[in-house]
A and B are shown apart, each in its own frame.
Chain A
Amino acid sequence: AQSVTQLGSHVSVSEGALVLLRCNYSSSVPPYLFWYVQYPNQGLQLLLKYTSAATLVKGINGFEAEFKKSETSFHLTKPSAHMSDAAEYFCAVSATAGGSQGNLIFGKGTKLSVKP
């Protein structure tokens, strides 16, 4: 069965600092991985996804993530945090059990705070 673990339920950075949100996955087959962002009182929207093409994936708002099979990781980074990046971030993996391939399994989320 697939699963994801997000390390750190809350991360705080200063404006202009590097953002690093950690995600490790468990999967018995090559995974498809996603990062979603949720702004306060809104639904989730896709930041980026890995679907077995390039291992370095670029997303919206300057975010990127690198798929590392040897480390079973898909960490999300942004070189310079902006106040508008304050949100909750979810890592997710596609389920691959028979008949459920469209379903996503989400991590518990990491809330990012950005200090001025």
Chain B
Amino acid sequence: IAGITQAPTSQILAAGRRMTLRCTQDMRHNAMYWYRQDLGLGLRLIHYSNTAGTTGKGEVPDGYSVSRANTDDFPLTLASAVPSQTSVYFCASSRQFQSTDTQYFGPGTRLTVL
């Protein structure tokens, strides 16, 4: 069982370019999340999906969009990348969208926007 896979592992991107970060889980979890991790700031939630077909905004959604066409995939798109979006991005999932559920994390994507 792979759990959560993310692609690419790392990427250097020119400012203004469009980029999609991929996330796939094989645990049949209903809820999925995208976080960004920045030094000294911890993890901040970008967007989430409590079930296939629905998404919601987190703490820092501006400049990002997501879709949840099926249970397994939750791509994150940067429509026009800016240098402040340089970060490490983590996808996570949980069985249900509940306060007590454990979130399982992918290995991350390191994105540099120049």
Name A's B-contacting residues (CB within 8 A): 9, 32, 34, 36, 41-46, 49, 51, 90, 94-96, 99-109
Q: Is the interface of A mostly helix, strand, loop or mixed?
A: loop
Give the residue of B4, B97, B105 whose beta carbon is less than 8 angstroms from that of A101. B97
The interface size bin for chain B is 20 to 34
Interface CB pairs A-B, < 8 A, 14: A36-B105, A44-B92, A44-B103, A46-B104, A51-B99, A94-B99, A94-B100, A96-B99, A101-B98, A103-B58, A104-B45, A106-B43, A106-B44, A109-B42
Interface residues of B in 7-43 (CB under 8 A from A): 31, 33, 35, 40-43
Distance from A99 Cβ to chain B, minimum over Cβ atoms (Å):
7
**Distance from A61 Cβ to chain B, minimum over Cβ atoms (Å):** 16
**Would B98 and A102 count as touching, CB distance under 8 A?**
yes
